[in-house]
Structure 1
Amino acid sequence: MITSPIWLPATLLAGATQAWRTAVQRRVSKSLSVNAAGLVRYLYGLPFALLLLGGYHWAFSTALPSPDAKFLLFCAAGGLAQIIATNLLIMAFAHRNFVVGTAYSKTEAVQGAILSFLLMGERLHPLAWTGIGCGVAGVMLLSGGGKRMGPADFLRALGQPAALTGIASGFFFALTAIGIRRATQEVGGSDPILAALIVLVVTVALQTLMQGGYLLLREPDEMRKLWGSWRISGQVGLLSAMGSACWFTGFATAPVALVRIVGQVEIAFTLGFGHFYLGERMTRSEVLGLLLVVSGVVLALAGSLW
């Protein structure tokens, strides 16, 4: 159920910000371990998340609700799922290029649609399901990295480490979305943006404790490297806080599946950053895949209007 039209601009902005953040985070991941690179977005993102919540509360003088224990449970579950998903995505980057790693993770749209139906009873219009099909076809074409692939080649590619880690990343990102949506529903109140920002702060704080504690115990040397990378890591934290605030606003105001389908537009921004920021070449098949993804987004939007 869509409760506010703000979900659409929030989702589009989230896609752009996340693509930018992932591109910068990939630079950090070259000098840090998987867990340290994943912690960057939470540790450096928490101060910015607090600023966003404090600024919004000050600007609109909105009373802060008092969520219950169930709220904390959903925040912790969604946060843990996001930690796992982020680590898997970073691992996918190690096997293939930036665009391909992201493309595999974008299967979260169809996984999210299925999981949100099974776990939350959220239903989509047939046009939206058609959009999912176009989007998945597009990301699978992008996953070929510009190579021509027959059915047999495609099936073999699905067994490669990049595909397995990318698809698994998409699964846990889908679980993250469901956990965050349930957490925003537990906040209460009539302001979905405030609810999203509260969930953001609590979730990022829990993620910092979970992954930060693990890093201190198992990889203390990486923690020292992480502090030394503050110039780039600070950029990751800022972009992560802004992107998550937009994603969480989308989840608070529209069905998970719809937000994730439209969020596939991130792949368009990813191609742009991969090409201009990281110097990766764009092929004809990637352009075709991009068109399919955009078509899927348009169909999903059309389905949301019925």
Structure 2
Amino acid sequence: MTNLTWLWIPFTLVGAAGQVARNAMQRGLTGPLGTLGATHIRFLFGFPFAVLFLGAILFATGEHIGWPASGFVPWLLAGSLAQIAGTALMLAAMHEHSFVVTTAYLKTEAIQAAVFGFVFLADHLTGMKVAGILIATIGVVLTALRPGARGFGNLRPTLLGLFAASFMALSAVGYRGAILEVKGVSFMAAASFTLAVALLLQTLVLSAYLLARRPGVMISIFRLWKPSMFAGFMGAFASLFWFLAFALTPAANVRTLALVEVLIAQVAAHYGMKQTITRREIAGVVLILIGVGLLVAG
């Protein structure tokens, strides 16, 4: 597998592009379905595609997967539940804020992972890393400020986006931990198996909640099955490539390279959604990119 580790780079780039498309589709469904309903479509409609991906990979490789090691379930639970929370917070932020600005908030995920590592794992922070964290934080503040307003133009979407990034960082670490517990098979089989089980768990959790608390949302989801199907496919497609990258390199590397998503989101928002991107927002995004770049270089 050593000579294939470079594949995490194209895997990450494909995953980033697919994620922008999925986020845009989910954002459009937040209105009719609500935050939880739009969150659920990526799991409910993504699971069948994940099973197809797993079946295709196992057929192509001729491999068979037994039940993974004991650490698989705890890591998977951590990754799956954190992703549900992170996705719901992300969509809530996008519903109240610019698509590009929310994406910029989400890109603080790498910064927060560095802070979590320092606090909980005693990871060493160099001067360059500290500088990167400060510069990127200034970038986040710059994108959130509104002319003529005192402080943040609206604190709620800012906090939603930042907390979404926190849960996404925890999710990435959890998924990589789960993938590494699938022994004796190729990285492709391990990644696709973990994705399928994760989506099954997430589908069961959110379906049970919605059926018990908001059955009307489930009905609305199936009424909008056509756009939901596409969002589900794009979600499973993007996640497969994320998981393949996680199988080959630490989650921090993947999430750092995934910053290209900010640039892809700018293009999507400007040309696809006709959203205006101000110079201040562009400057903020640039500072976030510079800050995370210093974080990695340090």
The code of the aligned residue for 1:217 comes to: A
In structure 2, C-alpha distance between the alignment counterparts of 1:181 and 1:117, rounded to whole Å: 19
Structure 2 contact 65–185 (Cα < 8 Å) conserved: no
**1:180-200 C-alpha deviation (Å, 9 max, x unpaired):** 111011112352222111110
1:284 aligns with 2:279: yes
SS of 1:282's equivalent in the other structure is: coil
The code of the aligned residue for 1:83 comes to: I
**1:117-137 C-alpha deviation (Å, 9 max, x unpaired):** 555677788767766665554
Structure 1 contact 265–293 (Cα < 8 Å) conserved: no
The code of the aligned residue for 1:228 comes to: R
Deviation at 1:113, TM superposition (A): 2.3
Deviation at 1:96, TM superposition (A): 1.6
In structure 2, C-alpha distance between the alignment counterparts of 1:196 and 1:121, rounded to whole Å: 29
Q: Partner residue of 2:194?
A: 199
- Gap change, CA 1:257 and 1:213, over 3 Å in 2: same
Q: Partner residue of 1:5?
A: 6
Deviation at 1:15, TM superposition (A): 1.3
The code of the aligned residue for 1:275 comes to: H
**1:52-92 C-alpha deviation (Å, 9 max, x unpaired):** 11111112223324313431222122111111111111111
Structure 1 contact 103–140 (Cα < 8 Å) conserved: no
- Which of 246, 249, 253 is residue 244 of structure 2 equivalent to? 249
Q: Partner residue of 2:15?
A: 14
- Gap change, CA 1:159 and 1:29, over 3 Å in 2: closer
SS of 2:32's equivalent in the other structure is: coil
Structure 1 contact 262–301 (Cα < 8 Å) conserved: no
In structure 1, C-alpha distance between the alignment counterparts of 2:287 and 2:185, rounded to whole Å: 37
For structure 2, which runs of at least 5 residues remain unmatched after alignment?
Answer: none
In structure 2, C-alpha distance between the alignment counterparts of 1:11 and 1:128, rounded to whole Å: 23
The code of the aligned residue for 2:162 comes to: I
The code of the aligned residue for 1:73 comes to: P
- Gap change, CA 1:301 and 1:47, over 3 Å in 2: same
User: Following superposition of structure 1 onto structure 2, how do residues 1-306 of structure 1 map, counting pairs within 5 Å?
Assistant: 4-116=5-117, 135-144=136-145, 147=146, 153=150, 156-157=151-152, 160-189=155-184, 191-295=186-290
- Gap change, CA 1:265 and 1:297, over 3 Å in 2: farther
- Gap change, CA 1:170 and 1:158, over 3 Å in 2: farther
**1:159-218 C-alpha deviation (Å, 9 max, x unpaired):** 710111111111111110111111011112352222111110000000000011100000
In structure 2, C-alpha distance between the alignment counterparts of 1:228 and 1:158, rounded to whole Å: 36
In structure 2, C-alpha distance between the alignment counterparts of 1:5 and 1:165, rounded to whole Å: 34
Judge which range, 179-188 or 159-168, deviates more: 159-168
Judge which range, 53-62 or 40-49, deviates more: 53-62
Judge which range, 15-24 or 133-142, deviates more: 133-142
Judge which range, 86-95 or 284-293, deviates more: 284-293
User: Number of paired residues?
Assistant: 296
Judge which range, 20-29 or 120-129, deviates more: 120-129
Judge which range, 78-87 or 253-262, deviates more: 253-262
The code of the aligned residue for 1:55 comes to: A
Structure 2 contact 12–242 (Cα < 8 Å) conserved: yes
**1:23-80 C-alpha deviation (Å, 9 max, x unpaired):** 1111111101211111000000001111111111112223324313431222122111
In structure 1, C-alpha distance between the alignment counterparts of 2:270 and 2:44, rounded to whole Å: 28
Question: Percent of aligned pairs with the same residue?
Answer: 35
How large is the Cα RMSD of the aligned pairs?
Answer: 2.7
In structure 2, C-alpha distance between the alignment counterparts of 1:193 and 1:138, rounded to whole Å: 37
SS of 1:6's equivalent in the other structure is: helix
In structure 2, C-alpha distance between the alignment counterparts of 1:225 and 1:191, rounded to whole Å: 39
Give the TM-score normalised by structure 2: 0.88
Give the TM-score normalised by structure 1: 0.86
